[in-house]
Amino acid sequence: MPTNYYDDLIDNPNSRCPCMLVLDISVSMRGEPINELNQGVNQFIQAVIQDDFASYAVDIGIITFGGTAQEIVPIQSIQKVEVPNLTPTGNTPMGEAINKAIQVLEKRKQEYKKSGVSYYQPWLVLMTDGEPTDNYQVAATKLRKLAETNKMLVIAVGIGERCNLSKLAEFCSSDNPPKQLTGLKFEEFFKWLSQSVGEVITKSTPGVSFQATQSTDDWESF
Cβ atoms of 122 and 153 closer than 8 Å: yes
Cβ atoms of 22 and 124 closer than 8 Å: yes
State yes or no: pLDDT of 195 exceeds 90: yes
Q: What are the boundaries of each domain within the chain?
A: 15-221
Q: CA 196, CA 179: separation in Å to the nearest integer?
A: 15
At 98, phi and psi to the nearest 5?
-65, -40
**Between residues 4 and 171, which one has the greater pLDDT?**
171
Please say whether the structural domain 15-221 has been given the CATH code 3.40.50.410. Answer: yes
Q: What is the pTM of this model?
A: 0.94
State the pLDDT confidence band at 171, using cuts at 50, 70 and 90: very high
Least confident of 58-67, 114-123, 147-156, 197-206: 197-206
Q: How many CA atoms are closer than 13 Å to the CA of 199, on its beta-carbon side?
A: 13
Cβ atoms of 95 and 137 closer than 8 Å: yes
State yes or no: pLDDT of 14 exceeds 90: no
Q: Which pLDDT score is estimated for 110?
A: 94
What is residue 23's DSSP assignment? E
